[in-house]
Each structure stands twice: as C-alpha cells, then as structure tokens.
Amino acid sequence: MEKTQHIIEATQEIFSSMIMLEVSPGEPFVRRNEMLTGSISGLVGLAGTTKGMLAIHLTKPAALAVTGAFLGMEVNEIDEDVCDAIGELANMLAGSMKAAIDPKGSGVKLSMPSAIHGQEYAIDCLARAESVTVPFTFNGVSFMVELQIRQDS
C-alpha cells in the first residue's frame, strides 16, 4: 500500500477508534524543515532496514482538543499529560506504519516516543530521505502527520 494512503487510513482509524474524532485529510506535501510555531510534535524514530521518523505535529488548540478527548478530561495547557498523550499517539501511528513498511516485523525497530513543544522549533531527520506530510483537520483545527524514511539495502 502506498505510504501516503496508509498514513491517511491509519490516522483516521486511530483518531476514530481511540479518540472518537473524525479527521479529514488534506493534500499531501513535502515539508521542507520549515519552523513549527505554537505547536507540539510527537516523534518516533525508525531504525534497521528502514531508517527515519514518524511525527505528528499539532497546533496548540488541536493538541488540547485531542488530549482532552483522549483522556476524557478538560485540558487547558500543554503539560506532561499532553506530551504523554501526543507521544502515545505518535507511537500508535508509528506502529501502524511499521506494519506497512515491514510486514514480517523483523527489519524495523521503533524508538520510545517523545514529544517536543514550543513557540518556534524545527525538526529534521535524515538527508536524502523520502518524505511525505499529510495535513488533517477536525472541528476547525489542524495537525500534520509526517513520515521521513530511507531504506538501506
């Protein structure tokens, strides 16, 4: 299955089943290390026969809405609970991508999820990596799921 289509299907499935939110994909693009502003990003590294990262980048309003729906409580600031929830969301997405990239389950390893946030930051992963970013929206807020990979032979 094409990676972009798998990102869309995995994101919609995880958001629908785990967070009870319906998300709509936008037009995929290649993110060129532009600064992320007023956001939080959940990251999971990939190592082995395929190297790279899976990241989910959410604006602050999107992160608060997602975390509130995920935890079933009102969330007003980006705190440890939000970082944990967004990291776990990245972990679920990375697990789904790993299954698509490495069906036998032996060639790709996932790192522990992490989250970073701030007023302005950049994330870059691998030189010469294949990259795709899919924007999504729900309830008037937006987020992006990004995959950067390089398969070494």
The string of DSSP codes covering the chain is: --HHHHHHHHHHHHIIIII----EE---B---SPPEEEEEEEEEEEEESEEEEEEEEEEHHHHHHHHHHHHTS---S--HHHHHHHHHHHHHHHHHHHHHH-TTSSSEEEPPPEEEEEEEE-----TT-EEEEEEEEETTEEEEEEEEEEE--
CATH superfamily of 3-151: CheC-like (3.40.1550.10)
pLDDT tens, 38-82? 999 999 999 998 899 999 999 999 999 999 999 999 999 999 999
- Weakly modelled stretches of the chain, pLDDT under 50: 1
pLDDT of amino acid 8: 97
pLDDT of amino acid 4: 94
pLDDT of amino acid 1: 46
